[in-house]
Structure 1
Amino acid sequence: MKKIYLDYNILVLLMSGNERCLEDLIYSIDRTKFQIVYSPAHIEEMAVSTERNNYPIEKTKEKLAFLSVLTNNTEILPFRRNDVRIIEDLGAYLCEEHPESCYTRVSENYNNNDLAEKIEEEFLDEATERNIHDNNPIVMNNINPEAVLSEPIYDHQTKEEIFMSLLSLRKYNKDQVRELMGVSSNLQKFTFPLIKKDYQVIETAMQIVFNKLEEIRYRPEKKKNFRSRLHDVSHAIYAAYCDYFITEDSKLFDKTKAAYAYLKQETTVTNIEGLRSIVSN
């Protein structure tokens, strides 16, 4: 069964109740062929409103109930848990869990986001101020996303950063990292299909690739968008374990295509109209 991952902006449109055409499309999907899934990244975005903006918890529970019905409680989790039913081991885990249970964990540990958000804000500030490659975003944004990291200097820097970050995980020694990444001058061996069984490796690689895209000023984010970018990268990581990633965010669309192309991941990135074509065939 093909797995569909909806970006949070699609969920917001659905939950608004004002997008009849979108609702008709989503509820016409043949659930014997396609499964819509959610992830902790969706729950984190719901928690932002409640934890940061005093959004009523009763309204959040309504969203969680909506998500439960939409996905039939089908979730992608980064690590195995003993208190949920595992459907499939994808490297990440396809599970059955009510979104409210996931929300409880997210809410209980929400203060952990303070550091992550601070790091993200500082990174965006530095990427904007330093512009280490002296690139013009207007020029960079015209590059095909699937080719934007093919420039040798970007490719080399990205590999070096991935190498050092994998060492910092303290799960692999230098020889193991070299073997994982391949000994050639490109990432022929370091591809999603070969490393997907280790979620931490995928998470690390994807984060670095997205950071490199910011540093080279490809579809860059403003500093004030640090929180949304943090969630965007999380969505792209979880969606990589699915067959389709659906988003109406043009920046995320292009950057995710660039990241997937670099790691040779075959998840299809498309928009609502693309989804319409997919499910009608």
Structure 2
Amino acid sequence: MSSKNKIYLDYNLVAYYFDKSNIPLCEKIDLMKGYCDFPYSPAHLEEIAVPIMQNHKDKKPLDSVLTLGSEKLNSLSELTNNLALAPQREKCTTFIRENPIECIKRVMINYDLNENIEIMEEAFLQKCKDLDPTGKIANRISNLPINFLNETHYGKDLELKLHFDLLAAISARKARVTEFRWPYISTSHQLLERTLEMAFNFLEEIRYKPEKVSKSRSRMHDVTHAIYAASTDYLVSGDDRFLSKTKVVYKYFGIETNVISLDEFLNLKHPLPNMH
């Protein structure tokens, strides 16, 4: 696999590339594609599928996605050169060469589960909001520095949650991991997925830059992007809230991915220092 720097774009930026609505971004990507890789993940495919599925609820959902999403799938293939991040459950996340069409076929197998997961996600966000109806706690917690989990009791509280969570404990045991820190948690995609999910949920519980209940689906995708981006060199997003949360979570676990804004990406110098 290529030793080039891997730059992970969140879906909003990928969408800008699809429709060419952000010319500076498109030009920057095209300029960098010669010496950087822009991998995709199943999270990108989920975001392509969701709006199509919401508007075309028929008996052949895969056919609808492949037909109506064909232009985006082809653009994603061209952008990424078919470089994909692939989960391996009890092994580390890996890079493979695969056309996005093949990946979205697997994504669609479990698509029916998304509706139930979204209902649970919305209920979770509502429960967190109910504990802070005025937003007073959120205003205070959201002003803490990026390293606050490492420097306050909140980090110890999260660590206890991780150790007492059954799925995290089972995943860690299978991976022979005793410490919830990078790079140990990267040895198993299942473990990485669970630990980061719990960390992002913890930020919602303590009201650090909380999401609106109406953004439940968007938050689900954000967390999944953060999980996959942990295996790359750069994560780029235009969402300041997502960037702040990801920086806090990555800082806590010691994940070395550079988390940068769209403006920071546009101002990156050429060529990038090799991160490998």
Q: Into which bin does the TM-score normalised by the smaller protein fall?
A: 0.7 to 0.9
Equivalent residues of 2:162, 2:168 under 8 A apart: no
| In structure 1, distance between residues paired with 2:76 and 2:110 | 21
Partner SS, residue 79 of structure 2: helix
**Preserved contact between residue 29 and residue 279 of structure 1 (Cα < 8 Å):** no
AA partner of residue 28 (structure 1):
L
Aligned to 2:85, what secondary structure does the other structure show? strand
| Deviation per residue, 1:225-260 (Å, 9 max, x gap) | 110100000000000000000000111000000000
Query: In 1, distance between residues paired with 2:172 and 2:253?
Result: 20
Distance in 2 (CA, whole Å) between partners of 1:150 and 1:49 is 41
Find the residue that maps to 1:209 and give its secondary structure. Answer: helix
Partner of 1:145: 146
Q: Is 1:214 aligned to 2:204, yes or no?
A: yes
- The percentage of counterpart residues that share the same residue type is 34
CA separation of 1:225/1:95 partners in 2, compared to 1, >3 Å: closer, same or farther?
A: same
Alignment of 1:251 onto 2:241: yes
**Correspondence 1:145-164 to 2 at 5 A:** 145-148=146-149, 150-152=151-153, 154-164=154-164
Instruction: Note the residue ranges of structure 1 that are not aligned, 5 or more in a row.
Output: 81-88, 182-189
Q: In the superposition, relative to structure 1, how do residues 254 and 229 fare at CA in structure 2: closer, same or farther (>3 Å)?
A: same
Q: Relative to 1, partners in 2 of residues 1:43 and 1:150: Cα closer, same or farther, differing over 3 Å?
A: same
Q: Does the CA contact (< 8 Å) of 1:8 and 1:45 recur in 2?
A: yes
TM-score normalised to structure 2 length:
0.86
Q: What is the rounded CA distance, in whole Å, between the counterparts of 1:129 and 1:149 in structure 2?
A: 27
Q: Is the 8 A contact 2:236 2:262 kept in 1?
A: yes
Q: Is residue 171–residue 191 contact of structure 2 (8 Å, CA) maintained in 1? A: no
Report the Cα distance in structure 2 between the residues aligned to 1:36 and 1:166, rounded to whole angstroms: 35
**What are the equivalent positions in structure 2 for 1:195-206 lying under 5 Å apart?**
195-206=185-196
DSSP 3-state at the match of 1:217: coil
1:180 aligns with 2:189: no
User: Aligned partners of 1:51, 1:28: CA distance in 2, in Å?
Assistant: 34
Q: Residue in 2 aligned with 1:77?
A: 86
Matched residue, 1:17: 20
Partner SS, residue 92 of structure 1? strand
Report how many aligned residue pairs link the two structures.
259
Choose 11-20 or 232-241, whichever is displaced more. Answer: 11-20
Between 244-253 and 268-277, the greater mean CA deviation after superposition: 268-277
Q: Structure 1 residues 250 and 122, CA, compared in 2 at 3 Å: closer, same or farther?
A: same
Corresponding residue of 2:8: 5
Taking the aligned partners of 2:168 and 2:119, their CA distance within structure 1 comes to 21
> 1:95-129 CA deviation, whole Å, 9 max, x = no partner?
11111111112223210212221221111111111
**Aligned residue type for 2:155:** D
Offset, 1:165:
2.2
Deviation at 1:141, TM superposition (A): 2.1
Query: Which of 28, 38, 41 is the matching residue for 2:40?
Result: 38
Counterpart of 1:28 in structure 2 is: 31
Over aligned residue pairs, what C-alpha RMSD do you find?
2.4
Assess if the C-alpha contact under 8 Å between 2:233 and 2:257 holds in 1.
yes
Distance 1:48 1:167, change over 3 A: closer
Q: Which residue of 2 aligns with 1:129?
A: 130
Which sits farther off after the overlay, 64-73 or 201-210?
Answer: 201-210
Decide whether aligned partners of structure 1 residues 136 and 226 sit closer, same or farther in structure 2, where only a CA change above 3 A counts. same
> How far apart are residue 219 of structure 1 and its match?
0.8
- 1:63 and 2:52 equivalent? no
Partner amino acid for 2:161? E
Which region of structure 1 is more displaced relative to structure 2, 159-168 or 102-111? 159-168
